[in-house]
Structure 1
Amino acid sequence: MEFTIDTGDHPSIYIRPRRHYHPDIQSKIDAKLSELERNGIVSKVNFTDWGFPVTAVPKPNGSLRICGNYVKLNAITKTIKYPFINLYHALQSLGNAKYFSKIDLLSGYFQIPIAAADRPKCALVTPNSTYVFNTMAMGMKNAPAHFQLLMNQVLGDMRYRTAIAYQDDTILFSDTFDNHVLRLRKLPTRLREANLTVNIEKCQFGLNQINFLGFIVSDQGVHADMDKVTPIANLRALTNIKEVERLLGMAGVYSKFISKYQVMVEPIRRLKIKDVPFAWESEQEHAFQELKRSLAALPYLKQPNFKLPFELHCDAATSAGIAVILCQRYDDTPYPLSFASRSVTKFEKNYSIRELEALAIIFGVKKFRMYLECNQFTVFTDHSSLQWLLNTDADKQPRLWRWCPFLQAYDFKVIYVPGKVNHAADTLSRAAIHAIASHHPDIDWAKEQRLDPMLRPYFNNTNVKYTKHKIVDGILYKVENKQHKTIATDMYIRVPSHLVADLISKHHDSKFAGHGGIAKTKASLAKAHLYWTNMTHDINAYIQKCQICQRIKGHVSTNHNMTTTHGTAPFIKVAIDYFGPLPTSSAGHQYVLVVIDTFTKYVELYPTRSTASQELASIMYTQFILRHGVPNEIMCDNGNSLGSQFTQQVARYVDINIVYTPPYHPSANGIMERFMKTL
C-alpha cells in the first residue's frame, strides 16, 4: 500500500539548504545518505522543483537519523483522518492473558513505498547533492495514520482479540501457551504477505509480562513502568506555567491509577488560571510531594473480565470533589480496574448531599459506560436514600428527577454501605480531609490540638460526634451543616488557642491577604477550613492592633451628631494636638506640637522632646500666649498628655477653658484632623 502526498494544485516549494555544517556532522550526513541510497530508501537526483533541508537527529547510539524539514510541505498537504487506538482501551483489551510476545518491525516507515509521482515532493537538499525519498520517512504528515491503517489491515480479525498494534509495535497475547504458539505462527504469515520485515533483535516471545506503551502488562493486571515515572519524581518546584503543563501532562497518564488524582493536583492546576499571578507556595508544594508519593506507590489495575459483574463505588464531598472506582470481585474481594475523579464546580457546591452523591453515580456511569452498558452492575454508596433514586418525585427533587431517564437505560442496583465500612469509597472522603489539612502542611494538627486544654477533652470523649465534632486521623474537626439537608456538610479544623494569632497573621498580613478587613480575613480562614470559638472577636482585636492598618486605613467611628464651633475672632479659640513620634533629632526633639487658630486657620508648629503636660503648658504660655494673647478656649483630645494634668498646669498661669473632644467623634476637632493628614 503506497503512501501518497496530496498537495492539490499548490506550486512547488524549494528551500535552500544550510551553506555549511561542521565537518564531522557533514561527514556523518553524507555517510548516512550513502547508506540509505545503497538500501534503496533514497535516490540521488540532479534536478528537482521541490527541496527541503536535511534534519539530522542524534540517536542514543551516536548515529544520526536523517529526516527532512517538512514543515512547509506538511502545511499544504491534505490531512488523512484515521482513528488511533485508545491507550486504556488497548491495555484493557489484553484481558487476563498470561503469555505475551512483542513484534517490532525493522525500520517500519522505510518499508512503505511512496507513490512515484509524489517522491519529488520530499526531496532532501544538502550542500553537496539532492536526494528523494523512495519510502515513507519520519516527519511526513499523515505517515503515522497511514502506518496505523496498514497494521490494522495486516492484523484483520486478530485485532483486539489476539493482537494489538500501535505503529510498529505489535503485542500478541494469549491465555494459554499452546494458543500463543498457534498465534505466533499465524502473525508472521500475515506480515510476510504485506512485505513487512521484523527486527528479530528487538522481538520478545512467550513472556509472562511485557512493556507496552509505557506500562507493564501481566496476568496480574496493568502497572506503570517505573522508569517512566522516575523523571517526575526527580522534578523540583515548578517556576512557570509551561512546567505546570508539562507536569500535568506527564502525571495525567497515570490518573487512572490514583484514586484522588484530580483532588490532589487541584492546587497545582489553579496556577494555570488566566490573569492569576504564578505563585508556588506551601499548598502547591504539598500537593506536588503528595503526587510524587502516590506515583511511587501506584497499584496494579486488574483487567476487566466481562464474564464477571462490575461494581461502581461512588462518593462525593464539596470540599474535595467526586470520585468513583470501577471494581470486580475475586474471592469476595473487590479489585480496582480504574479510578476516576473530578472537582465540583462552584454551582455544584450548592447541591444537597443527596444530589452530590447522585451526581457521583452519573459521573461514574458516563466514565465507564463501555464496561457498564449491556451488563448488570452494582452501585455502592454511603447515602442510603439513593437506593430509591429511580423513584424520585418530580415535585420534591426536580434535579434528581431530570437525571433519572439517563440512568434508567442501565441495569443496576444501588446498595447502601455505611461510611465507616465503605472502605473503597472512603478514599475520596479521606482525600477531602487531607485536602483540608494540607492548607497548612507545616502544622502537626494532631499534636498541637492535644496541647490545648480546651480541646484535649474532645479526644477523651467517646461521644464526640454528638458535639458536632469528628476525629479523623487523629485531627479534631468541627462538622457544620449550614442548612439542614440542603447544603452538604463542611468540616473545619479546630484551631488550638496558641496558634490563633499566627494563623490570623498568615491570613491577614501576607502579601496575598493584603491586610483585609474583618470579613475578608474571616472568609480567608473559613476557606482554609479553620475554626475556633470567638473568631470574629479575635480577628477584630488583631486588626485593631495592626500598625499598617491603623496607619493607612481611615477610621470608621460612631457618629454622635455633634456640631463643630469655631472662634468668632483671631486667637479666641485654638486647637492643639501632637504629631509623632518621629525619629529623634540632634537636639533631642521627637514630637511636633500643632497649634491652630480655628478662625483664621493659622498654624504654628513647635518641636518638643516629649508629650509631658508640664512641657506642653510651658510652650503654650511662653511661646504662644505671650505673643498672641490669652485665648478663651483651647480644644484638644483626651490623650494622656492633654488630660487633667495639662489643665492643672495651665491654670497655674492663666484662666483658660479647656474643651475636650468626646470619644468616637474626632470630627469635633475636624480642623486639626484635616491638618494632620496634610502634615
Structure 2
Amino acid sequence: VPGVAPVARAPYQLAPSEMKDLSEQLKELSDKGFIRHSSSPWGAPVLFVKKKDGSFWMCIDYRELNKLTVKNRYPLPRIDDLFDRFQGSSVYSKIDLRSGYHQLRVREEDIPKTAFRTRYGHYKFQVMPFGLTNAPAVFMDLMNRVCKPHLDKFVIVFIDDILIYSKDEKEHEEHLKAILELLKKEEFEDFIVYCDASNKGLGAVLMQREKVISYASRQLKIHVKNYMTHDLELGTVVFALKIWRHYLYRAKCTVFTDHKSLQHILDQKELNMRQRRWLELLSDYDCDIHYHPGKANVVVDALSRKEREPPLGVRALVMTA
C-alpha cells in the first residue's frame, strides 16, 4: 500500500541448533547472490520449519508486510477442476522448476521491503523470497504465459509445478519433448555487460535482449588511480560482476571491454597477486570477455568519466525487473 510506514519486528529467539542452520543458510543465499546486507527500515523476523528429512528450512515471517500489501487477485486453479482435466489420461509427469521463486528478480524499489533481521545481520532479498503474499500468483501468472501454447491440452500449471498428462507412453514422450523445448526456448538470453575505465572512475552497463537492466559507476579511490590500465580495465569487469552478482551468478554472460588484451587474460601465465585474486573471482562466473572498440562504448565511457560528489560509492541508476 503506497505511503505506509515501514514495519520492523524483533528477531525471534532461536535454539542453538537453529542458529547454526541460520548461519549456514545465510552464507549459501549470500554466495548465490540472492541476498545482500541491508540498512532498510523494514525488517521481518526469521523462523525455522522442520522438513521431512529432519533438516530445518529458514523462513521469513512476512505477515506484517503481507497485511500492507495490495493483493494480486490472480486466480489459483480449483483442485477439482484440475482432476477433471486428467480424464482419459494414464501417464503423468511433473516438472518442478529448480529454485522456483528464486528465478524471479525483485524490482529494485521493492527490495528494501523484503528485509529481514537476524542475529547475524540485517539482509534483504534480490530475488523473490518465499512467504510473500503475492509470490504464488506472480509465479503462476508467469508460468501460465510461458506454457500457454499447450495449456489445458496436455499441460496444467499449479504454482511452481508443471503437470503433463497423456493417454499413453508414446504420446507422453511427444508431450514431454514439446514442453521441454518450449521451456528451453523461453530461457533468458545471455546477459551482456559493457565495461570501461578512465582516470576518474569505472563504468558498466548491464543488458539483456537489447534492453538496459542497470547502469553503474564508481569514482576511483586514490590508491586505485595508480593501477596500470590493464588492471583498471580488469577491475571494472570485477566491479560489474560483483555489483550484479544476483543477475550473473550461474548465468551465461558476455563482457565487452575496449581493452584488447583482456580477451586473453585467462591464458596469461605471469600474473600479480591482485590479478590472480580477480581471476579466481572470474572463475565463479560463466562469462566470455570480448573486445569492443571504445567509440562504440559511448555510454559506459561517459559513466566512467562521470564526476561524483563525496561520499564515493556504487549506485544503481536504473533497475527493472
Contact 2:47-2:60 at 8 Å conserved across structures: yes
1:16 aligns with 2:7: no
Q: Does residue 28 in structure 1 map to residue 21 in structure 2?
A: yes
Give 2:87's match in structure 1, choosing from 83, 88, 95: 95
Q: How far apart are residue 126 of structure 1 and its match?
A: 0.7
1:167 aligns with 2:184: no
Identify the residue that residue 142 of structure 2 maps to in structure 1: 150
Q: Secondary structure at the match of 2:18?
A: helix
Aligned residue for 1:53? 45
Percent of paired sites with the same residue:
29
Contact 1:32–1:64 (8 Å) recurs in 2 = no
1:129 is aligned, of 121, 124, 128, to 121
| 1:82 partner amino acid | Y
CA distance in 2, matches of 1:131, 1:111: 19
Post-superposition offset of 1:153: 0.9
The answer for the alignment partner of 1:77 in structure 2 is: 69
> How many angstroms apart in 2 are the aligned matches of 1:114 and 1:192?
23
**Greater relative contact order: 1 or 2 (C-alpha under 8 angstroms, separation 6 or more)?**
2
How much has 1:186 moved relative to structure 2?
Answer: 1.6
Q: Is the 8 A contact 2:18 2:56 kept in 1?
A: no
The answer to whether the Cα contact below 8 Å between 1:94 and 1:173 also exists between their aligned partners in 2 is yes
Q: How does 1:233-312 map to 2 (within 5 A)?
A: none
Deviation string, structure 1 residues 82-120 (Cα, Å, up to 9, x no partner) = 111121221111221232222112231222211111111
- Quote the Cα distance in structure 2 between the aligned partners of 1:161 and 1:54: 41
Which residue number corresponds to residue 110 of structure 2?
A: 118
Aligned partner of residue 55 in structure 1, secondary structure: strand
Unaligned runs of 5+ in 1: 1-6, 197-679
Aligned-residue CA RMSD in angstroms? 1.8
SS of corresponding position for 1:83? coil
The Cα of 1:150 is off from its aligned counterpart by 1.3
Give yes or no for contact 1:114–1:135 (8 Å, CA) kept in 2. yes
Q: Structure 2: how far apart are the matches of 1:23 and 1:105? A: 32
The CA deviation string for residues 115-150 of structure 1, in whole angstroms up to 9 with x for no partner, is 111111010111221111112122111111112111
Aligned CA distance change for structure 1 residues 62 and 195 (closer, same or farther; 3 Å): farther
**CA pair 57-37 structure 1, distance change in 2 beyond 3 A:** same
Question: SS in structure 2 opposite 1:130?
Answer: strand
Structure 2 CA distance for partners of 1:177 and 1:128, relative to 1, 3 Å: closer
Distance 1:112 1:186 in 2: 24
The SS at the match of 1:52 is coil
**Equivalent position SS for 1:8:** coil
Structure 1 distance, partners of 2:179, 2:86, is 17
Preserved contact between residue 90 and residue 160 of structure 1 (Cα < 8 Å): no
Identify if the C-alpha distance between structure 1 residues 33 and 172 changes in structure 2 by more than 3 Å, giving closer, same or farther.
Answer: same
SS in 1 for 2:88: coil
Query: Taking structure 1 as reference, are residues 144 and 186 closer, same or farther at Cα in structure 2, changes over 3 Å only?
Result: same
TM-score, with length taken from structure 2: 0.55
Quick one: distance in 2 between partners of 1:35 and 1:134?
Answer: 14
How many correspondences in the alignment? 188
> In the TM superposition, what is the alpha-carbon distance from 1:165 to its structure 2 partner?
1.3
In the aligned structure 2, how far is the partner of 1:195 from the partner of 1:11? 38
Q: Which amino acid aligns with 1:60?
A: K
* Structure with greater Cα Rg: 1
| Aligned partner letter, 1:38 | D
Residues 68, 122 of structure 1: 8 Å contact kept: no
Note if 1:187 corresponds to 2:179: yes
